[in-house]
Amino acid sequence: MGPALPFPMRHLRPALLLALASAALSAHAEVAFSNKPAGDYLASGFGIGPETRGYQFASTATGLLTGFDVSVNNGSSSDHRPFTLKLYADAGGTLGTLLGSFAGLSSGLGFYSRTSGYESVAAGGVVLRSGASYWLVASSPTRVIWQRTERTWMRSLIDYDGSGNYYYGTSVASIFSVNVDPSVTSIVPGPAAALPFALMALRRRKRA
């Protein structure tokens, strides 16, 4: 074992590794789904909060989920508001198993502004499969607007008051894309994931 690193360097190493890992994922990024319109678009959309809204989509690529690009703004205010994206497996056209929950911040753009900007929401821990269907569901503790396309219709759901009563149908879709790293097609638990099990085994030994 080499000499101990000075205090600042001990904290630099994990940050450097994380930066390198993020760069590597970006280098291998592939779009697994997108309904982004070409060029600028006139912003109009659906309210999120208290409503919960989601869309079914089919992945066109296999790989580790790395993030989403979504067009979420605040309607008329210029502050940045929190929202949550949840990814579910599909179960015969309805919500299946929750696969992951990811936090984002809305832009401060006004409701009817013209923009081609998107908010990037980092994600991970899930491998998408080409041809498989999923649901992306958005919610917010405050009021935000999830801008919509003009022509793309998708199977959708809405929960009007956050009570968990979902109404399914088909509607013009809100704008989003799903990004994966196709070089990663399975998730192998690392040392950190295995640590709780190692501690449990050690406790059992001590009791014995």
pLDDT digits (tens, 9 = 90+) for 183-200: 999 987 655 444 444 444
User: pLDDT grade, residue 19 (50/70/90)?
Assistant: very low
Q: What is the pLDDT of residue 162?
A: 82
Identity of the residue numbered 152: T
3-state secondary structure 91-118: ECCEEEEEEEEEEEECCCCCCCCEECCC
User: pLDDT grade, residue 46 (50/70/90)?
Assistant: confident
Question: 3-state class of 31 per DSSP?
Answer: strand
Residues 112-119 have a mean pLDDT of 60
User: pLDDT grade, residue 117 (50/70/90)?
Assistant: low
The yes-or-no verdict on residue 138 having pLDDT over 70 is yes
* Beta bridge partners of residue 83, listed in sequence order: 104
| Alpha-carbon span 86 to 93, nearest angstrom | 16
Q: Is 28 within 8 Å of 61 (Cβ atoms)?
A: no
Tell which wins on pLDDT, 23 or 79. Answer: 79
Residue 164's Cβ-count burial label (10 Å; 0-12, 13-18, 19+) is exposed
Which CATH number fits the domain 26-201, given the four candidates 3.30.70, 3.30.300, 1.10.8, 2.60.120? 2.60.120
* Mean pLDDT rounded to a whole number for the chain: 78
Domain residue limits, the chain: 26-201
